Amino acid sequence: MKKFLITGGSGFIGTNFINLLSLKRHKILNIDKISKISTPDKFKKIYDKKKYSLVRNNLEDPNKVFQILNKFQPDYIINFAAESHVDRSINDPLYFIKNNINSAINLFHAYCQYYKKKKIKLFHISTDEVYGSITKGESKENDAYEPSSPYSASKGGADLIASSFNKTYGVEIKILNLSNNYGPYQFPEKFIPTLISHFLKNKKAPIYGNGKNIREWMHVEDSCNAIWKSIISKEKFKKMNLGSGVRVSNIDIAHNIFEIMKTKNLTNLKKDNFLKMVKDRPGHDERYALNTKFFKKKIKYKIKKNLKEGLKETISWYIENDKWIKNVNKSYNFRRLGLID
């Protein structure tokens, strides 16, 4: 049994990763500030609650973070902590920059102090959005960052700080750049949950711009398993892309979800009238595509869920977990974000 310290373990990917760790019988400490969009522990699938604990902390004080590390004595640290909605970052860039960069540097600083006592690895979870939009080809690990939104800039900044700490202090922060995730526990305002909720209510779903923006989609269970394989791997790396290779436009995702739900009689919308094209958000990247040759060759993890299977499971999850949806909806006022007057 190993000890895992998880930051941001009440967010979308963090929650799924804790569920995975719990099945593997490891001891888990979750550090999370617990916001309106967090997943309460009562909704997590924690196998052994005696091996799980939560510390409510926003990573603002590196000394307090070090005290937590020193007390728990983790074998691994995985950093999921970040605000992650592009539209929100457009409306409030200062909050995103302050939160995502400051929380990262405070964690890294505390980790450096802890590393002097116990030389462990810290895995910093990032995004493909840091590379910016590419018209063709694939983004490689050594490509320059060209972020388009305050969110992706804040994540890119945290990545660069991680790299600088490795060079300056000789620590081992591993950066994992993930492609777009979907699946259980994703906040309802995100793209795929928004489509599902609209179709269930027989409401036309909004699509930004012309809907041709392409993303690389990976089910969150595959992402968590890929992260796990990366953690336990003996391969040496400083930075690695984790993606599925499944690149599909937003409008095609909408069509796929609608067809699945229509076939199961989950919506009464008509096939020629189920989408509403709305004003695009500024700086909307056209295409993401990750080069994952190193990941495939060295980590040797094969994606298990194809897109159609993953979407079917995701639709079923949101229908079956309406209590989780209602819990989120009670504390959050949904409105269109990402527009500039």
Sheet holding 239-242, edge to edge: 52-56, 27-32, 3-7, 76-79, 121-127, 173-178, 239-242
Q: Which residue reads 């040496």 in tokens?
A: 236
Alpha carbon 1 to chain centroid, angstroms: 26
Which amino acid, 152? S
Catalytic site residue 286?
Answer: no
Q: How far apart are CA 15 and CA 223, in angstroms?
A: 12
Query: Which pair of structure tokens corresponds to residue 146?
Result: 């060209």
What SS3 class is residue 121? strand
DSSP code of residue 287: B
Spot the catalytic one: 41, 129, 159, 189.
129
Spot the catalytic one: 41, 128, 138, 221.
128
Spot the catalytic one: 115, 131, 151, 185.
151
Pair 5, 79: CB distance under 8 Å: no
Pair 140, 202: CB distance under 8 Å: no
Q: Which of 63, 59, 65, 166 is nearest to 104 (CA)?
A: 59
Alpha carbon 105 to chain centroid, angstroms: 19
Residue 45 CB coordination number (10 Å): 12
Catalytic site residue 128?
Answer: yes
Residues 42, 44, 45, 46: what is their CA dihedral angle, to the nearest 10 degrees? -80
Q: Which of 130, 247, 128, 143 is nearest to 179 (CA)?
A: 128
Catalytic site residue 318?
Answer: no
Residues annotated as catalytic are 128-129, 151
